[in-house]
Structure 1
């Protein structure tokens, strides 16, 4: 009986070991409000899955460090890898590393430059950036029209120019302004804040010091919008006289909207992107079919529907 019990125990241990799955996760930066929500989405979802372990690393906005993390994940024998890329221009090298090792890889939130040519065991989970800047700018246009503006000067604050999201959101702004109904809007300057609140505040301070006249600020993300708002308030700008838009619908952004400072943002479901990327990674590791592009819809957030999003992130 003892021998049978020991044999059964050994079989159980082997079976549970075989079932255990490990996913390596490399995040571009831990110290970012939106990416923190995304990371928490991965961690919390992993906690609900039996036999799944995750290893999350902070690339600290360093491409070289992120490539090393991917190499280390491969060397340690992970079943799959999830990457939130520091620089989307480096994703071809990341894909090549994973493909050569035969390890499934899923990009999350930031679109790889090689999206059309991803290997069969790689995928991309995010929200379609064509919608983000479009929804934001269309609402800014509507608010300016509602205010009776026939000419409006616009300041654009871009994210990191190495990121596809920043480039696409900025293109969205230009595309909306090119439409007949929004052609009264004119971009007087656009500069990058690298997604950072403090850099956006400095940028706005410089614009104000230079006497730049503007009716609206359209930022690629909420952190940049908040930085601009802080600088304007410090300079005594009447926030009712300017329209400010952002993207992400972070809790800080929603608080700014409740305070009457932020006029529009766009909800990007970071938590759903996180859990979706883990689902895709595990499916690929199990040999299951996964769509190359998995989209989580963007949603417009205004003071009228803010209540629907106060607990979303």
Structure 2
């Protein structure tokens, strides 16, 4: 009798196991599991993207496992290997670097797990990309500076992490506008590594080197832009130097409203986060999805900042 019961239990377990496998991701069985590795949870914009991914995953009843790559491409590749070993249904990667994060894409593709790059790119082609055209953000920023300076002046450019897609593309966009405006002179360019404190100390060094020669600063992101503003204010130069940066994080929007930051370029963290999850879910369920989702940038100045403030 015991053997008969045991046999029935095993058969039931096997049957339910089969059902779970066949129902996984069909909406009425086991939840879809998505693994996400983010560039850095110390970066406010990335945290905003991550928060939106969480909200959308909850709404779609998806299990989201988020890990922090802490700016290390090597760590990111290991995190993707771990997701593959866990057998997740899809992976979302916010790449640390164009080249060094590429092996992660190849590993996921080889394991037949859809991998979606969000916000930043890799040279290896993922299943899909959700983000914005970073070249465009720099074009908008530099056109704004060119207009404000009447096509003449000395500009400093603060780069993000060297070798990261956003840094490379924002550099290309900025140089394109500089080339089209021969009256604009690039005094210096250096990385502030997306960091506010580093942006501040870099600006302090520039003030020592160039002083009143500085007419404008283009920072690749708001964190560095806010650092630049702080250094300029301390040196009593803020009224003489135009600062524009990218992302439109809450701090930057408040600074634009106050008039300390001249402009920021709105990058839609909400759209990037939610569309990344939607794309990952569709890819995991083998439904039709867009291979590239591009979300436009918008210039934010004192005139229209109200539209962007929550």
Q: Which residue of 1 aligns with 2:53?
A: 42
Task: Check if 1:184 corresponds to 2:183.
Answer: yes
CA offset digits 1:80-126 (Å, max 9, x no partner) = 000001112123311111011111100000111234xx4xxx11100
Q: Aligned equivalents of 2:83 and 2:124: distance in 1?
A: 21
Q: Aligned equivalents of 2:192 and 2:52: distance in 1?
A: 26
For residue 133 of structure 1, the aligned residue among 138, 148, 157 is: 138
Task: For residue 74 of structure 1, report the CA deviation from its aligned partner.
Answer: 0.8
Q: Aligned equivalents of 2:210 and 2:141: distance in 1?
A: 26
Gaps of 5+ in 2: 1-11
Matches within 5 A, 1:108-257: 108-115=118-125, 118=126, 122-145=127-150, 151-179=152-180, 182-212=181-211, 213-237=213-237, 239-257=238-256
CA offset digits 1:151-181 (Å, max 9, x no partner) = 30001111111211111111111111222xx
Q: Aligned equivalents of 1:136 and 1:158: distance in 2?
A: 13
SS of residue paired to 1:291: coil
Contact kept, 8 Å, 2:106 with 2:124, in 1: the verdict is: no
For residue 110 of structure 2, the aligned residue among 100, 103, 122 is: 100
Q: Aligned equivalents of 2:210 and 2:60: distance in 1?
A: 55
Q: Which residue of 2 aligns with 1:3?
A: none
* Bigger shift: residues 203-212 or 262-271: 203-212
Contact kept, 8 Å, 2:74 with 2:100, in 1: the verdict is: no
Q: Which runs of 4+ in 1 moved over 3 A?
A: 13-19
Task: For residue 131 of structure 1, report the CA deviation from its aligned partner.
Answer: 1.1
SS of residue paired to 2:210: coil
SS of residue paired to 1:274: helix
TM-score (ref. length: structure 1) = 0.88
TM-score (ref. length: structure 2) = 0.89
Q: Aligned equivalents of 1:211 and 1:135: distance in 2?
A: 25
For residue 30 of structure 1, the aligned residue among 31, 41, 48 is: 41
Contact kept, 8 Å, 2:34 with 2:280, in 1: the verdict is: yes
Contact kept, 8 Å, 1:140 with 1:264, in 2: the verdict is: no
Q: Aligned equivalents of 1:276 and 1:265: distance in 2?
A: 23
Contact kept, 8 Å, 2:74 with 2:101, in 1: the verdict is: no
Q: Which residue of 2 aligns with 1:279?
A: 278
CA RMSD of aligned residues (A): 1.7
Q: Aligned equivalents of 1:211 and 1:86: distance in 2?
A: 32
Contact kept, 8 Å, 2:76 with 2:101, in 1: the verdict is: no
